[in-house]
Chain A
Amino acid sequence: MDSVAFRNSVAFRNTVTDAAFADTAFEDSEADLKAWQTDRTRAPVATKIVVAGGFGVGKTTLVTAVSEITPLQTEALMTEASEETDDLTATPGKLTTTVAMDFGRLTLDDDLVLYLFGTPGQQRFWFMWDDLVRGAIGAVVMADTRRLKDCFPALDYFESCGLPYVVAVNHFDGSERFEPEDVREALTIPAHIPVMIMDARRRISVIETLLSLVAHALDETPE
């Protein structure tokens, strides 16, 4: 990032006033504090799962259903490339926009913490994923059968980088029900990759989805 963009960033300038406020506004209450949060001598093992899919497919709902904290939102600045050239090196009039990403947390053991990162699925956000998928267990690709095409870019991306993934079809009330095998066929998902119909609002359904992903990642990891 160049220094001009850095200085002009609104978020940057607001930091001074927000800093003191942020700590109390978003902080977990003392009662909810986990032991590992106050022990600075050793860090727990941190690991993560990426939740991807189109706009409105239920990524934030899924993260909220299992997170032990109110999901937090981080932003990344992105440079918007021209639709025609899509070439970041040759855009003199760069526009920067921010991309929001929600995340939640699950303490699985005294020294093991799982983070869930919900990230926008459009192809123009792939620059964020390169960073996000590093070290990840895998990805949950969320699909809505009314807008199935929205999950195509996420599938393309995870296939191309070799990250283990499962397909979670978030069933919306009143929408037509499809069999997992119909969705698998439409999405051309290989037989060994789990495809499931789930409900992102239900904690148990989300945990089953995560279990399915981790078990699949384990299958994909050599002994």
Chain B
Amino acid sequence: MSSGPKKLPVRGGDRKPARVRPYSLTGGRTRFGHVLLVETFVAALEAPEERRELMNGCLSSRGMPEMQAIVELCRRMRTVAEIAALLRMPLGVVRVLLSDLADQGKIRVYGTGTAHGAGRPDRALLERVLNGLRRL
């Protein structure tokens, strides 16, 4: 390391305009009726016997063991990110499959800390988080 205080590089010196890509992972097949953020909780729903038979004959559940693996995992409360991690599947793929499972009534998608999964947490939630962190 050289002697004397080092100069830190200054941001914006060779600035190109900041640009946010108009690209979304969740485009394509996912029907975005269900808001599936990385932290969104999902859980399996127990289907009544007769409905279960119907669904077993359903094309999308046959030959799709990963759908069954997801339902299996969802016997506990899980987040979208957790399912992707445990099954080692890309997030985008998990979102598509979860969306299908929700459409079939096999899993329930819960809301997150922000209303409709958009925008920012409100003050009440931020204060709860602050208090929770202080207790750690």
Residues of A within 8 A of B (CB): 1-2, 6, 9, 11-12, 14-16, 18-20, 22-23, 26-27, 36-40, 43-48, 66, 72-77, 88, 98, 101, 103, 106, 108-109, 112, 114-115, 117, 126-128, 130-132, 134-137, 145, 148-149, 152, 155-157, 159-161, 176, 178, 182-183, 185-188, 207, 210-211, 214-215, 217-218, 221, 223
Say whether, besides A76-B92, A221-B120, A183 and B8 are in contact (CB < 8 Å). yes
In angstroms, Cα B89 to Cα A75, docked, is 7
| B56 interface residue (CB < 8 Å to A) | no
| CB contacts between A and B, total, < 8 Å | 228
How far does the alpha carbon of A112 sit from the alpha carbon of B124 in the complex, in Å? 12
How long is the Cα–Cα vector from A184 to B136 in the complex, in angstroms?
29
Can you identify 11 A-B contacts, CB atoms within 8 angstroms? Answer: A15-B65, A15-B66, A16-B65, A47-B114, A106-B132, A112-B128, A137-B120, A137-B129, A207-B133, A217-B121, A217-B126
Q: How far is the CA of A70 from the CA of B85 in the complex (A)?
A: 12
Task: Tell me whether A130 and B24 are in contact (CB under 8 A).
Answer: yes
Give the chain A neighbours of B54 by CB distance below 8 A: none
Between B28, B82, B88, B128, the greatest number of chain A beta carbons within 10 A of the residue's beta carbon is seen for B88
From the candidates A1, A103, A155, name the one contacting B92 in the complex (CB within 8 A): A1
Judging by beta carbons under 8 Å apart, are B130 and A88 in contact? no
Closest to B94 in A: A74
Measured in the bound complex, the distance between the Cα atoms of B9 and A155 in whole Å is 14
B20 an interface residue at 8 Å Cβ cutoff?
yes
The 8 closest A-B pairs by CB, nearest first: A108-B132, A43-B110, A19-B69, A72-B85, A186-B8, A47-B113, A43-B41, A135-B114
